């Protein structure tokens, strides 16, 4: 491809190389970071660096995918990651979490060319199938001429409702060489660099029906799910809930829908949920479901929504509506768009008796957990640590949380202020550190705290070196109970022969962090946490705060029939 003499951009009036075309297209989509493990698109990487895109070389392909995932969740842009052919299956493994969480990621990988297929090429395995279950679409780029149109299709597919990861395999073990003149139309479609790219509204007749059902409700509840965060619908949902006077409960991935002190905030529901939130949901007669698929974790194995409750379900994915519960009014729409439609049509508030009832449930629950959240015990109680994290985090800060015990303690004790937010693993232990690095790359001016346990931290601890190398000043708070104590019951806790199957050597995370050139603090007394966090901020380095918590304290089962 030859640009005309009056054309814009680098390469004006001369042949444009494939490497330039690839990098320029990514820039056209608003990509600022490319997370990868060598070697993939090496010439394009050089071009990316020259035009302001930062290639971030990680220590594992799964971590690269997690970084792209965190980048996308924090920014609302499409995350991009890549690996050479031999790393493809590892890259695919990292797409499981963004696939489950409906996050737009474009994954690029090399694949041996047709000329070497079935000839025992070194490291050659057909990895195409590994991507099929964790992507919305996977395509094959046979030569440089097809890269532009297929990259456009990849971004289009990833960013369009409903968003999910996509994959392009590029002929050649390391992808295109970039040494040949570019072929094809190298334009980018910028609208697909952000997600969701489109916001379909709900059928007005269905909205009217939903408002009629809501107006007749005696005990209405809003259940805000992951779709609220993915749609950027927090403000619209707040407007709707305030107009209707309806209490809001949320899934773990929707917990930033309202700040903790908002009068309509009633907590996180589900297996890891707050008991008060589960009680509120169990008493509802109408449930307005905004962007939740009502899966097992959110509904306590499908037991937390009362029989006979009328469900109004909003989701951009029509196939998800009614999957797990019969739905009175389906609204196939973008969550932000539908919440705005509902807010505009609300004519009455929830009955005062119901509002008083849920306020009492909330007050009782908060009184029940107050002692643990303020405990001065050494070893530290995890309830105290998790209450402290958001309380001490900067305004506008982002918590990037792991799964397992981190999910359980977060649901019960994280108290976000207005402007703070939290994103968390959809189920992959160890996700949080690389995802936090990706989030900080996307939003470098906001404080990003990775909240993980020691078991999760071990998965990708080497990525501390990545953060140090690129100056990504993420702060890692480790709930360190020297064990996977959530699993102890499976191994006959107290049986010395089995203890090694759930408890760890008391390793020094501070020594490890300092060995990578990062800042590190150890906290044994909860009174010292705030000072340790301030020192981490002031260091100007990636930082680890090793918080020693009580291994005997395990999150209790949440209230509900399944418990």
pLDDT digits (tens, 9 = 90+) for 463-513: 999 999 999 999 999 999 988 888 877 887 677 888 888 888 999 999 999
| Residue 88 CB partners (closer than 8 Å, separation 6+) | 61, 109, 110, 111, 127, 130, 131, 169
Question: What is the reported pTM?
Answer: 0.94
Contact 463, 63 (CB under 8 A): yes
pLDDT of residue 4: 35
- Give 177's pLDDT tier (boundaries 50, 70, 90): low
- Give 306's pLDDT tier (boundaries 50, 70, 90): very high
Looking at the predicted structure, is the pLDDT value of residue 174 above 80?
no
Contact 223, 358 (CB under 8 A): no
CB atoms within 10 A of CB 90: 19
pLDDT digits (tens, 9 = 90+) for 454-464: 999 999 999 99
User: Distance of CA 394 to CAs 72, 252, 405, 471, 529, Å?
Assistant: 21, 21, 24, 19, 14
Burial 381-390, CB ≥16 within 10 A → b, else e: bbbbbbbbbb
Q: How far apart, in whole angstroms, are the C-alpha atoms of residue 84 and residue 111?
A: 8
Q: How far apart, in whole angstroms, are the C-alpha atoms of residue 168 and residue 110?
A: 9
Residue with tokens 């003149």: 181
Contact 552, 489 (CB under 8 A): no
Q: How would you write 174-240 as a 3-class SS string?
A: CCCCCCCECCCCCCCCHHHHECCCCCCCCCHHHHHHHHHHHHCCCCEEEEECHHHHHHCCHHHHHHH
Quote the tokens at residue 179.
């040494």
- Percent of the chain predicted with pLDDT > 70: 95
DSSP 118: T
Looking at the predicted structure, is the pLDDT value of residue 113 above 80?
no
Going along the chain from its start, the domains and CATH numbers come out as 18-193 (3.40.50.970), 204-360 (3.40.50.1220), 374-548 (3.40.50.970)
CB atoms within 10 A of CB 269: 36
Quote the tokens at residue 531.
């000072």
Q: Which of 38-52, 93-107, 431-445 has the lowest mean pLDDT?
A: 38-52
Q: How far apart, in whole angstroms, are the C-alpha atoms of residue 431 and residue 60?
A: 12
pLDDT digits (tens, 9 = 90+) for 28-40: 999 999 999 998 9
Concatenated DSSP letters of 402-462: -STHHHHHHHHH--PPTT-EEEE-SS-TT-HHHHHHHHHHH-TTS-EEEEEEHHHHHHTTT
pLDDT digits (tens, 9 = 90+) for 375-426: 999 999 999 999 999 999 999 999 999 999 999 999 999 999 999 999 999 9
């Amino acid at each position: 491809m030859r640009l005309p003499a009056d054309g814009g951009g680098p390469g004006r009036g001369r042949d444009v190389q494939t490497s330039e075309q690839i990098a320029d297209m990514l820039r056209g989509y608003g990509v600022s970071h490319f997370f990868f493990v060598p070697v993939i698109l090496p010439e394009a990487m050089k071009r990316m660096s020259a035009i302001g895109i930062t290639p971030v070389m990680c220590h594992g392909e799964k971590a690269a995918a997690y970084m792209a995932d965190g980048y996308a969740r924090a920014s609302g842009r499409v995350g991009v990651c890549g690996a050479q052919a031999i790393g493809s299956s590892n890259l695919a493994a990292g797409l499981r979490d963004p696939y489950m969480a409906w996050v737009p990621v474009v994954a690029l990988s090399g694949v041996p060319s047709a000329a070497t297929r079935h000839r025992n090429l070194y490291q050659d395995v057909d990895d195409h199938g590994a991507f099929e279950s964790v992507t919305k679409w996977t395509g094959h780029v046979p030569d440089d001429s097809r890269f532009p149109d297929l990259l456009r299709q990849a971004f289009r597919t990833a960013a369009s409702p409903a968003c999910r990861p996509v994959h392009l395999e590029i002929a050649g073990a390391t992808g295109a060489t970039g040494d040949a003149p570019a072929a094809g139309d190298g334009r980018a479609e910028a609208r697909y660099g952000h997600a969701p790219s489109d916001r379909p509204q709900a059928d007005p007749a269905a909205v009217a029906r939903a408002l009629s059902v809501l107006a007749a409700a005696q005990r209405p509840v809003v259940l805000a799910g992951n779709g609220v965060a993915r749609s950027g619908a927090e403000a619209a949902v707040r407007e709707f809930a305030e107009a209707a006077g309806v209490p809001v409960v949320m899934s773990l991935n929707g917990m930033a829908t309202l700040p903790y002190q908002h009068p309509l905030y009633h907590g996180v529901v589900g297996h890891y949920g707050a008991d008060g939130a589960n009680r509120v949901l169990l008493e509802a007669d109408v449930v307005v479901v905004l962007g939740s698929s009502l899966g097992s974790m959110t509904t306590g194995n499908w037991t937390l929504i009362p029989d006979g409750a009328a469900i109004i379900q909003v989701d951009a994915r029509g196939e998800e509506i009614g999957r797990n519960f019969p739905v009175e009014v389906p609204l196939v729409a973008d969550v932000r768009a539908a919440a705005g439609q509902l807010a505009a049509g609300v004519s009455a508030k929830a009955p005062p008796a119901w509002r008083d009832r849920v306020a009492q449930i909330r007050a009782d629950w908060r009184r029940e957990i107050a002692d643990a959240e303020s405990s001065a015990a050494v070893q530290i109680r995890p309830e105290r640590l998790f209450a402290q994290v958001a309380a001490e985090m900067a305004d506008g800060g982002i918590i990037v949380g792991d799964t397992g015990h981190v999910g359980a303690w977060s649901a019960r004790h994280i108290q976000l202020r207005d402007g703070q937010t939290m994103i968390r693993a959809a189920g992959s232990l160890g996700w949080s550190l690389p995802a936090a690095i990706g989030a900080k790359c996307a939003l470098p001016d906001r404080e990003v705290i990775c909240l993980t346990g020691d078991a999760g931290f071990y998965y990708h601890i080497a990525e501390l070196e990545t953060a140090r190398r690129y100056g990504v000043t993420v702060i890692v708070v480790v709930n360190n109970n020297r064990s996977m104590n959530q699993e102890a019951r499976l191994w006959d806790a107290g049986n010395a022969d089995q203890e090694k199957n759930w408890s760890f050597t008391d390793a020094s995370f501070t020594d490890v962090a300092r060995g990578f050139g990062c800042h590190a603090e150890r906290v044994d007394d909860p009174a010292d946490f705030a000072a340790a966090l301030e020192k981490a901020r002031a260091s100007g380095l990636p930082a680890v705060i090793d918080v020693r918590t009580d291994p005997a304290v395990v999150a209790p089962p949440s209230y509900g029939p399944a418990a």
